Amino acid sequence: MSIYHTLTPEQFDAIGQELDAIRNREIADLGEKDEKYIRTLIKRQRQLEVAGRGLLMAGFLPPAWLAGVACLSASKILDNMEIGHNVMHGQYDWMGDKNINSRNFDWDNTCTNTAWKHTHNFEHHTFTNVLDKDHDIGYGILRMSDDQEWEPRFVLNPILAVILSTFFQHFVAVQSLKLEDYLIYKTKTKEELKAEFKPTWKKMRKQLFKDYLLFPALAGPFFPFVFAGNVTANLARNLWSSQVIFNGHFPEEVEQFPESVLEDESRGHWYVRQMLGSANFEGGRLMHIMSGNLSFQIEHHLFPDIPAHRYARISPEVKAICEKYGLPYNTGSFMKQSVSVWKRIFKMSLPGKGGGKGKGLMAKVIPLKAESGSASRQAA
Amino acid sequence: MNATTQTPRRFQQGLQRLLQSRVAGVLSYPHGVDRYLEVLNPLWSTTEVRARVEKIEHLTADSVTVTLQPNTNWQGFIPGQFVQLTVSIDGKRHTRCYSPANSLHRTDGRIELTAKAHANGFVSRYLREQLQEGEVVTLSPAGGEFALPEQRPERVLLISGGSGITPVMSMLRTLCDEGYDGEITFLHYANRAEDMIYADELADIATRHNNVTLLRAFGDGESGGELSGLFCSEHLCSSVPDFAQATTFLCGPPPMMAAVEKVWEEEGLSDRLHKEQFTLATPQLDTSDEAGGEVRFARSETLVANNGSNLLEQAEAAGLTPESGCRMGICYSCTCKKTAGKVRDLRTGEISSGDEEDIQLCVSVPVGTVALDI
């Protein structure tokens, strides 16, 4: 049985208060060092981008091409993860700088700011790991949970996961459209889809034009080198960011929840659900920065709007709270968590319960709430 | 202008055009050209006015005079107008209005701002105590109706109090630089002689220009002024008997302004009095009662009585549909600009400043009257 059911209401409240205290302390401490951190990082990212795009112009020389791809990949990863993802979470809104602000910031990615904030900040962070509410469970493409009903298409789970990772930015860009509702469940019309796709397409078009036409064209006869460089940099960013995100929620022990947990959920319950539904991975400072500090996925889910560079310092306290209340604090090496994620992806391609660990909650609750649990898909 | 200064200027204009072109926009998408330029030099921007702090002086014990060198986006100002100065203090941006005090005809193109550091003047205290030469600040274009008319008036009366001296100082310096030959009376109120900003320069101007009369009024019991005490109509009758013929420009603390306005009103001269309220850019709001006051949704021109619930609920109850999401302060979908008033953060209990700033509607409860840009 999941710890979610053995904690007393008082314990939930106590956990909520302890975590709120950390949050309040960090918020009160926001200041110049946070500003300096994000500004320096943005500066580095812009430098890497200019260097990368410049080097690729001389991409006919293999060392320049390789260095160019490395710089541009690093630039795109920084832009999307430690800068874009975190700025759009509102981590730096308090600075009052309109250019480093969740409302205005846009990233080097085909997903629009508005669509991202809806699917990620709102749906994923509010309903973390709640089946049928958190679209990040499988992105509408994969089967990532025992309690997601098996369909024949999920035989292709591992292949679909590779495709998802390869074109991750585009899948994220269209995530808000819930394509499966049109293609598979037929609950969405073509017209609705078209209208919803319009703003996304506007952004996608600009990104594709810039990376695959304009910059290559600037290189004249060396068009193919720049084109190939940009394809590789985008691919590197896609593979890296998707793996980082998968590692945050899909290692085998990470729990998923039925919709019923949302009824009258207290602050303490919400915090506990975030901790049970997230996993960290370990690494050095560079690893943390390049993963947008999503290596501290647990801390990020507890405090999504606190500047991410603070998570490393907060993590021992969070770990101590977990130990105190007997909550798991899921962490391991990047490799260990990745292997665990891919095991889940393979297991879920077969019908029936995958037999993974840590599914006590779903197994216990679903039968009790059979009506609401199984009816939700048809109703959606 | 000779050829040597023409060429860099033409080059600069060409570069500016290139950087503002569509191609540059697409290449730098989605961040925009400015975000790359500022990495090279924080002063560089294709649109924003930014300025480097060239000099910091302390003309009196509690004031600071900052000389700024703006970038080429600065379009100049009319004496009397103000600019919004934005500085970053402990990571957070703060914006305040200041009136440049320099002459329009200053040849080095620099802007001079003077502020008095009040005990609770957060930004002015920062300017006085922490701002460093070489730092880069952000400015708005100049604005405001309080301005010296292009057709210079025949007779000018400048009345100021405290740090309200800055816009009328700019007018005086400009008129003197132009060789203006009409009569100018400069009537200034300060608590003490040593608190008077620009005291030496004003005395100097008055000696060199026969058409300038300097009248200084210091607090009761203070010596060194031509007048003493607070503004009263006797000051005018005795020292500026022809005030009715003058075009008058007034800037000072609210009680003093009210006293002056009253005299002009009584004389039926209100249309000859130009005034600038310099102490508060936003209206003073009543914050005594938390659940009292009203919520003003400026853009949708809606006004409701503050019922004490969070601003998202109040907006929705008023029939508005602001963007929203989690309703618990984590997704930032409902972030919007508060233009005035204070709010309490439901999570921390902290009460915000009354400044213009971004807030999350779902976790903000108005403390008294609040104005929002939705």
> What integer pLDDT is reported at residue A164 of this predicted model?
96
**Which residues of chain A does B29 touch, with a Cβ-Cβ cutoff of 8 Å?**
206-207, 210
pLDDT of residue A362: 47
DSSP state of B161: E
Measured distance CA(B364)–CA(B370) in Å, rounded? 11
pLDDT of B347 strictly over 90: no
Asked if the C-beta of A95 comes within 8 angstroms of chain B's C-beta atoms, the answer is yes
Token duo for residue A6: 């053995």
Total structural domains in chain B?
3
- Of the candidates B222, B367, B360, B218, the one whose C-alpha atom is nearest the C-alpha of residue B286 is B367
Integer-rounded Cα Rg, in Å, for chain B is 24
Q: How far is CA B340 from the centre of its chain?
A: 16
Q: Is the pLDDT of residue B285 over 70?
A: no
Same domain, B98 and B74: yes
Among A23, A46, A117, beta carbon nearest to B36: A46
A23 touches chain B (CB under 8 A): yes
Question: Contact A121/B331, CB-based, under 8 Å?
Answer: yes
pLDDT digit string, tens, across residues B211-227: 999 999 999 888 889 99
Q: In the prediction, which pLDDT does B122 show? A: 87
Q: Is residue B249 a contact partner of residue B171, using CB atoms and an 8 Å limit?
A: yes
Q: Which residues of A touch B325 (CB under 8 A)?
A: 117-118, 121-122, 126
Q: Does any domain span residue B260?
A: yes
* Half-sphere exposure of residue A334: CA atoms within 13 angstroms, side-chain side: 15
* Residue B126, domain member (yes or no): yes
Q: Assign A358 a pLDDT band (cuts: 50, 70, 90).
A: very low
Q: How large is the angle between the packed helices A223-249 and A62-78, nearest 10 degrees?
A: 40
User: B88, A35: Cβ pair inside 8 Å?
Assistant: yes
In the predicted model, is pLDDT for residue B235 greater than 90?
yes
Question: Count of H helices and E strands in chain B?
Answer: 9, 17
B286 lies in some domain: no
Q: Hey, of A43, A79, A97, which one would you mutate to test binding to chain B, going by the most B CBs within 10 A of its CB?
A: A97
Residues B101 and B41 in one domain: yes
Domain with residue B228: its CATH number is 3.40.50.80
Contacts of B30 in chain A (CB under 8 A): 106-108, 203, 206-207
Chain A residue with CA closest to B37: the answer is A46
Task: Give the pLDDT band (50/70/90) at residue B367.
Answer: very high
Q: Are strands B335-345 and B111-116 parallel, antiparallel or unpaired?
A: unpaired
B364 is written with which tokens?
């903000």
How does A130-164 read in b/e, with b if 16+ C-beta sit within 10 Å? bbbbbbbbbbbbbbbbbbbebeeebeebeebbeeb
Task: Give the whole-angstrom CA distance, residue A80 versus residue A87.
Answer: 10
Distance CA B31, CA B34 (A): 8
Residue whose tokens read 């910091």: B56
Closest to B30 (Cβ–Cβ): which among A101, A106, A117? A106
Tally C-beta pairs within 8 A across A and B.
102
Of the residues A85, A91, A98, A99, the best mutation for testing chain B's interface (the one with the most B CB atoms within 10 Å of its CB) is A99
Cβ–Cβ under 8 Å, residues B189 and B175: no
Residue ending a domain, choose from B115, B139, B163: B139
3-class secondary-structure state, position B144? coil
Instruction: Say yes or no to pLDDT of B312 above 60.
Output: yes
B-contacting residues in A 102-131 (Cβ below 8 Å)? 102-103, 106-108, 117-118, 121-122, 125-126
Which are the contacts of B57, defined by CB distance < 8 A and separation ≥ 6?
B64, B65, B67
pLDDT category of residue B333 using cuts at 50, 70 and 90: confident
Q: What is the mean pLDDT of residues A55-71?
A: 98
ipTM at complex level: 0.87
Q: Specify whether B161 is located in the same domain as B234.
A: yes
**Residue at which a domain ends, from B139, B168, B187:** B139
Find chain A residues with C-beta within 8 A of B363's C-beta.
none
Mean predicted lDDT score pLDDT of chain B:
91
Q: Domain check: are B319 and B352 in the same one? A: yes
Token look-up 């100021």 returns B160
* Interface residues of chain B, partner chain A, Cβ below 8 Å: 23, 26-27, 29-31, 35-36, 39, 88, 90-94, 325-326, 328-333, 335, 347-348, 357-358, 360
Q: Which helix (H) or strand (E) holds B77?
A: none
Comparing alpha-carbon positions, the chain B residue that sits nearest to A84 is: B31
Interchain proximity B325–A117, CB inside 8 Å: yes
pLDDT of residue B157: 98
* B chain contacts of residue A43, beta-carbon cutoff 8 Å: 39
pLDDT on residue A354: 56
Contacts of A359 (CB under 8 A, 6+ apart): A146, A147, A255, A256, A353
The average pLDDT across A70-96 equals: 97
Banded pLDDT at B5 (limits 50, 70, 90) = low
Q: What is the mean pLDDT of residues B11-34?
A: 91
Closest to A254 in 3D by CA, of A77, A159, A128: A128
- What is the per-residue pLDDT for B144? 87
Which backbone phi and psi does B160 adopt, to 5 degrees? Answer: -145, 160
The rounded radius of gyration (Å) of the Cα atoms in chain A is 21
Residue B287 lies in a domain: no
- Domain-located, residue B347: yes
Contacts of A89 in chain B (CB under 8 A): 332
| Predicted pLDDT at A48 | 98
pLDDT at B290: 61
Smallest CA–CA distance, residue A38 to chain B, in Å, is: 10
Residue B279's pLDDT band, with cuts at 50, 70 and 90, is low
| Residue span of the structural domain in which A222 resides | 3-379
Q: What pLDDT does residue A375 have?
A: 33
Q: How far is B327 from chain A (nearest CA, A)?
A: 9
Confidence of residue B369 (pLDDT cuts 50, 70, 90): very high
CATH code of B359's domain:
3.10.20.30
CA–CA separation, B28 vs A75, rounded Å? 13
> Final residue of a domain: which of B242, B277, B312?
B277
Is the pLDDT at A359 greater than 80, yes or no? no
CA distance A266 to A262: 9
Structural contact between residues A106 and A91, judged by C-beta atoms closer than 8 angstroms: no
Is B145 within a domain? no
Residue B308 is classified by DSSP as: S
H or E stretch including B364? strand B364-372
Q: How many residues does chain B have?
A: 374
What average pLDDT score do residues B320-325 get?
83
Amino acid residing at A250: F
Residue A271 touches partner B, C-beta closer than 8 Å:
no
Instruction: Among B29, B84, B347, pick the best mutation site for testing chain A contact (most A Cβ within 10 A).
Output: B29
Interface test with A, best of B88, B92, B339 (most A CBs within 10 A): B92
pLDDT tens profile B122-153: 899 999 999 999 999 999 999 888 999 999 99
Nearest to B331 among A33, A35, A117 (CB): A117
- Using the structure block, give the residue that is written with the tokens 């030099």: B41
Tokens representing A216 are 């290559």
Whether B165 and B226 share a structural domain = yes
Quick one: B244 exposed, middle or buried, by C-beta within 10 A (0-12, 13-18, 19+)?
Answer: middle
> Is some CB atom of chain B closer than 8 A to the CB atom of A54?
no
Print the domain residue range for B166.
155-277
Count of the separate structural domains present in chain A: 1
**What is the dihedral sign for C-alpha A75, A76, A81, A83?**
positive
Helix or strand (DSSP H, E) at A32:
helix A32-57
Nearest to B98 by CA among B266, B288, B278, B237: B278
Res A376: pLDDT:
35
Token pair of B155 as six digits: 């007779």
Tell me whether residue B340 is in a domain: yes
Asked whether the beta carbons of B180 and B211 are under 8 A apart, the reply is: yes
Least confident among A281-285, B90-94, B243-247, B325-329: B325-329
Is B195 a member of any domain? yes
